Chains A and B, each alone.
Chain A
Amino acid sequence: GAGVSQSPSNKVTEKGKDVELRCDPISGHTALYWYRQSLGQGLEFLIYFQGNSAPDKSGLPSDRFSAERTGGSVSTLTIQRTQQEDSAVYLCASSLEAGGRKFFGPGTRLTVL
């Protein structure tokens, strides 16, 4: 059984460009979460999905950040007009049900030059 996968694994972009980060959760997992981890820091909550709905977007740092989930499966996190402070590892996690054990993907390391 495949785990959570994320792509790309690394992304280097120039300031001001838009980026899309993809997360493929474990099949059948209804809940999906996005976290951000800056170098040497903890895990910062961004957004979570229950099915295709995002009941809580409170963690998104600014309106440059958006996310969607389609078909109750794949999720995309989009960052518009990237800034240097957006540089971090973006982690996606899924769980069979809300509140359950989370399975994290390997993350996407984003570097904004």
Chain B
Amino acid sequence: QQPVQSPQAVILREGEDAVINCSSSKALYSVHWYRQKHGEAPVFLMILLKGGEQKGHDKISASFNEKKQQSSLYLTASQLSYSGTYFCGTDGSSNTGKLIFGQGTTLQVKP
């Protein structure tokens, strides 16, 4: 079952914050986040393994609520380089690394 991402698209000004949500109807072992710029391959951001786990990466952080089967990606003080499409990938209980990706959230940061 494909996870649902929201919003589908967001436009920000530099310095503004954004939250991208990822929701699954199935129990999850982990949630992975990737960013893809136009014409390029997806690039890894972070993996969240435990319920309630939070991680940070520069000004990008994420949380994972195992009970709610949801994850959120937080982009703080956005920079132009944050523009791209963000995908969450969910791994069921088997930890095979087989990720089912959401449809993506397109983020555009303007000067």
Q: Which residues of A contact B (CB under 8 A)?
A: 31, 33, 35, 41-45, 48, 50, 55-56, 91, 95, 97-107
B42: nearest chain-A partner, CB-CB:
A104
B3: nearest chain-A partner, CB-CB:
A42
Contact across chains for B87 and A101 when beta carbons are under 8 A apart: no
The distance from the CB of B9 to the nearest CB of chain A, in whole angstroms, is: 12
From B40, B91, B101, B103, A99 is in contact (CB under 8 Å) with: B91
Q: Which residues of B contact A (CB under 8 A)?
A: 2, 29-30, 32, 34, 40-44, 47, 87, 89, 91, 95-104
Contact A42-B97, Cβ < 8 Å, known A91-B41, A101-B44: no
List the 5 closest pairs (A to B, CB-CB), nearest first. Answer: A104-B41, A43-B101, A98-B97, A99-B95, A99-B97
B interface SS class: loop
Contact across chains for A42 and B44 when beta carbons are under 8 A apart: no
The distance from the CB of B58 to the nearest CB of chain A, in whole angstroms, is: 16
A41: nearest chain-B partner, CB-CB:
B103
A92: nearest chain-B partner, CB-CB:
B41
Complexed CA–CA distance, A48 and B87 (Å): 19
Complexed CA–CA distance, A107 and B87 (Å): 17
Contact across chains for A42 and B101 when beta carbons are under 8 A apart: yes
Contact across chains for A48 and B102 when beta carbons are under 8 A apart: no
